[in-house]
Amino acid sequence: MIHARVLTLDRSGPMMGFVRARVQVISVMKGQFSADAVATGPDSMCGVGSFRVGGEYVFFLDKGSNFVNSLRQPSNVTTRQTLEALRALGN
């Protein structure tokens, strides 16, 4: 789990709908993360492609992956709400 700022979005990947976001990691909140990007496939409910360049987000990633999966990414929750909930839990 990482808290990161989106720096750029790239939709020119080999697969239609594939989006790669270059990120600046603010903090690694759980696990390990050493990449400088996250990615998602087409029709992803988490919608990396709809994220705002310059915006901060919490990405819930599978171990050893930089792929943002709609099954792990909470919907209808702001980054601020997520961070506050995690702080309240002591994470």
Classify the C-alpha dihedral 13-18-24-30 as positive or negative: negative
Residues 6+ apart with CB under 8 A from 7: 21, 22, 23, 24, 53, 54
pTM over 0.75: yes
Q: Record the tokens describing residue 4, joined without a space.
A: 């990161």
Residues 6+ apart with CB under 8 A from 79: 3, 55, 56, 57, 58
* pLDDT of the chain, 91 residues: tens digit per residue: 999 999 998 877 666 677 888 999 999 999 999 999 998 876 555 555 567 889 998 998 988 888 887 777 777 788 899 899 988 988 5
Distance, in Å, from the CA atom of 55 to the CA atom of 31, rounded to the nearest integer, reads 22
